[in-house]
Amino acid sequence: MGAGACMLCSLIDRANEGNHQTVRLCECTTYLEGGELTSMVNFAKLVSCCIASNFEGNALIAIKEALNDSEGVLISWDVNLLDPCSSWRYVTCDGQKHVIAVSLALLGFSGYLSSQIGNLTFLQTLELQDNLLSGYLPSELGNLTQLLSFNIHNNSITGSIPNSMSHLSKLKYLILSNNSLTGGIPIGVAEISTLLKLDLSHNHLKGNIPEVAFEIPEYSFADNQLSCDTNKPCILDNHAGIKVGAQETSVKKLNLPAILGGVLGGMLALTVCTGLILKFGNCYGPHMQDTFVDVAAEDDLKISFGQLKKFSWRELQTATDNFDEINLLGQGGFGKVYKGVLGDGTPIAVKRLKDKQDSGGLAAFLREVDMIGVAVHRNLLHLIGYCATPERLLVYPFMANKSVAYQLRERSEGMGVLDWRHRKDVALGAARGLAYLHHHCNPRIIHRDVKAANVLLDENLQAVVGDFGLAKSMENQNTYVTTFVRGTLGHIAPEYLSTGKSSVKADVFGFGIMLLELVTGQSTIDFARLNEEDDVFLLDHVKKLLREKKLNAIVDPSLQQYIAQEVEELIQVALLCTQPTPEDRPTMMEVVKMLVGEGLAERWEEWQQVEYIRVREYEMMPQRLVDGMDSTMNQEAIELSSGR
């Protein structure tokens, strides 16, 4: 195709100048596989390709500038390389090189959302939650007719909800909570028939709530100045069970005890929902149904899978050489994972689920796939596709750098050591991925097996949390009771092991243990330690060395260079995460903040004061009571320098 194609792309580029545009190299020529411009079909394909790439690249550059990226988080968004699908971080593309997801949560941006967002017309997922964004929601959001999920929770957005958003006919999740939005709720938005969740809580909205909004499976309008134009009781949050009498014309700010009371009351009605393929759906009523929020019954399979590919079993059998054990990458609680190569040469990882026909049926599996596909985040393993019959198979991208556990303890001789900078990046990336699962996924998810072996590394050694899609989806409860304990000994939180109660705080505990793996390079259980001490578990071993003030003995000996202060801070976060009482542990959102230097010193100081009191109380106990206590209590308070 050669010079003619390059010249054409160049002309198109210049025609679009003035919008951050530069003359590109001929990325688009790859679509024609080296063919010549000998037909109008090829010519039309090339023009379409060049224009699409320019528009999306330009839009993302404009978005970057508007976000005020002072820390250089989006440095890979290069104005000179206007192919966002090549190497731009936080951007996901489909097979046709269209941008389908932009995931920019928890990155500290302080600007505004550019109107150029409207040019990403293939976008399905837009995640901007937990930043410092201000300004208005641009009306151009209405151009995103393929959008499935939009989350801008916990920013400082002002102005009204654009009426144009009523054009988002495929939207499932709209999360605008914890902002400063004003005006009313556009009836066109409430009438979007595909909506599964609408959260407008904690804003400054006024007027009537459209009656059709109460038909949405999950909604929240709490903490606004809204009223209900209906003679029925006004339920502002259909999962907290908070009602305001019909005679009241406005809604006052809800207090925390009322909310907690509603949540706790609702949790008493929960039925124990178990299974290997764990369902996220309706657990209420006299007859428990294996249904999800977006499908009414097993024969109703109207599920939108976006860009997920449905593979045939034969295709994946061929890709993995009939699931040859030579291609086995690993195995866990849900099954084995095999390396495979598709017919076009694309390397993949295929998870072969242990129970080939689970009790939930085909519909439950497909809904689980639908949920996994919507969970798009740069630090979560992205699902490529699936196979439903005759076996349940999930297809993921192949990670050549394997897992953190492999890099720490199983790497081949001669391979480079994972240096300290990358270990810190892994800690922060994994924390962000888990924070997304706990706080922003729809529905929220408990991982239940957080460990170094389940954190994979991409080609840039960035952390990608895997094996999360088959964990228990949390819906709106924070605790899940199971008849079996899933996880790995040494990573399992004590309350989960003893009671079977799984919660987000159990994940926090596992994450804390993983931090110790990063610092020490050691396994969580090592019976060889019995030769020198009584501590088999890594957590106990680290605490022992800290009491003996042997910080250097804790650090992985293969690390040639590290910063002692940063090591101490990571250990501090690990100890805060692994406190015996779940309520004392931070949330993953708080962990993310501590890892970037926000609030660690204060939290650590508070923890040390509590530890000091605990040790004093222990010392004052009668000896007969001391003898009956766990030996782990017989220790001095752990001391580390305060976090900066």
In 3D, which of 424, 455, 408 has the Cα closest to residue 557?
408
- Provide the 3-class DSSP secondary structure of residue 100: strand
The residues, ordered by sequence, that sit 6+ positions from 535 with a Cβ below 8 Å of its Cβ are 529, 541, 543, 544
Q: Using CA atoms, how far apart are residues 35 and 50, in angstroms rounded to an integer?
A: 16
Pairing verdict, β 197-199 and 455-457? unpaired
Q: Using CA atoms, how far apart are residues 168 and 161, in angstroms rounded to an integer?
A: 13
For residue 351, say whether it is annotated as part of any ligand binding site: yes
Place of tokens 């949330």: 587
Q: Using CA atoms, how far apart are residues 615 and 636, in angstroms rounded to an integer?
A: 7
Place of tokens 């731009």: 88
The residues, ordered by sequence, that sit 6+ positions from 571 with a Cβ below 8 Å of its Cβ are 515, 516, 519, 542, 546, 554, 640
The kind and range of the H/E element at 314 are helix 313-319
Contact 302, 196 (CB under 8 A): no
The residues, ordered by sequence, that sit 6+ positions from 17 with a Cβ below 8 Å of its Cβ are none
Q: How many CB atoms lie within 10 A of CB 23?
A: 14
Contact 386, 369 (CB under 8 A): yes
Pairing verdict, β 173-175 and 197-199? parallel
Q: What is the CA radius of gyration of the chain?
A: 26
Q: Using CA atoms, how far apart are residues 440 and 105, in angstroms rounded to an integer?
A: 9
- Provide the 3-class DSSP secondary structure of residue 260: helix
Tokens representing residue 328 in the block: 């086995």
Q: Using CA atoms, how far apart are residues 51 and 582, in angstroms rounded to an integer?
A: 53
Tokens representing residue 271 in the block: 């039925």
Place of tokens 């976006």: 306
Tokens representing residue 642 in the block: 């305060």
Place of tokens 């969580």: 524
Strand partners, 310: 386
Cis peptide leading into 390, omega within 30 of 0? Answer: yes
The kind and range of the H/E element at 444 are strand 444-445
Place of tokens 């061929």: 318
- Provide the 3-class DSSP secondary structure of residue 349: strand
Please calculate the CA angle 547-426-110 and round it to the nearest 5 degrees: 110
Q: Using CA atoms, how far apart are residues 457 and 459, in angstroms rounded to an integer?
A: 7
Strand partners, 58: none
Contact 430, 447 (CB under 8 A): no
Out of 69, 449, 467, 507, the active site residue is 449
Clarify whether 199 is annotated catalytic: no
Say what angle helices 504-520 and 538-547 make with each other, to 10 degrees: 60
Cα→Cα distances 359→277, 290, 363, 500, Å: 8, 9, 11, 21
- Binding residue ranges for ATP: 351
- Binding residue ranges: 351
Q: Which residues are catalytic?
A: 449
